């Protein structure tokens, strides 16, 4: 299973964050990446906590013939097409597309897989539970219930 996390907290030419995420899914499909399952939209507080706008997030399961590096390059191209400019870490963004897992592959070189911080983020784990409830972390073997229970305190993510 290939899993991609989506997030946005600034408007783009496509509209507010939820509209941007929907348009990004259309762009993925147009590039030949089949979206097989999608979570609900979630509203989440920024991490680390600050005064930027809250995010809209989701997780999708996709099918593609692209390898992990090619898929990540496509995700970055789509982000750029929507106006994403990478200036600093944890900045507000019009679109964020993260390769979370690629068929359980474990890699230490780019792209690092699974995504190195996915287990620390409610805005990833909660929508992931809706898309792939039986998913287990490829490095630790932990299931989603265990990962969600171990989340750091204070994270806020709610289904829209």
Q: Residue 73 gets which letter from DSSP?
A: H
Catalytic pick from 38, 96, 101, 121? 96
Catalytic pick from 38, 98, 101, 121? 98
Q: Is 96 a catalytic residue?
A: yes
Q: Is 136 a catalytic residue?
A: no
Beta-strand (E) ranges in the chain? 2-8, 34-38, 42-44, 55-63, 96-102, 157-159
Catalytic pick from 38, 43, 50, 84? 84
Q: CA-CA distance, 65 to 50, in Å (whole number)?
A: 39
Catalytic pick from 38, 93, 101, 121? 93
Catalytic residues: 84, 93, 96, 98
């Amino acid at each position: 299973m290939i899993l991609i996390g989506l997030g946005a907290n600034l408007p783009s030419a496509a509209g507010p964050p939820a509209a941007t995420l929907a348009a990004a899914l259309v762009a993925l499909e147009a590039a030949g990446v089949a979206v097989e399952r999608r979570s609900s939209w979630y509203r989440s507080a920024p991490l680390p906590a600050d005064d930027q706008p809250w995010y809209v997030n989701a997780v999708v399961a996709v099918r593609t013939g692209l390898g992990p590096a090619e898929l990540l390059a496509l995700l970055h191209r789509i982000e750029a097409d929507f106006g994403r400019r990478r200036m600093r870490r944890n900045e507000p963004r019009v679109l964020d597309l993260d390769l979370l897992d690629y068929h359980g592959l474990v890699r230490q070189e780019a792209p690092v897989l699974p995504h190195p911080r996915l287990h620390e983020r409610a805005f990833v784990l909660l929508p992931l539970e809706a898309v792939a409830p039986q998913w287990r972390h490829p490095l630790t073997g932990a299931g989603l219930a265990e990962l969600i229970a171990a989340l750091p305190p204070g994270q806020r993510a709610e289904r829209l």
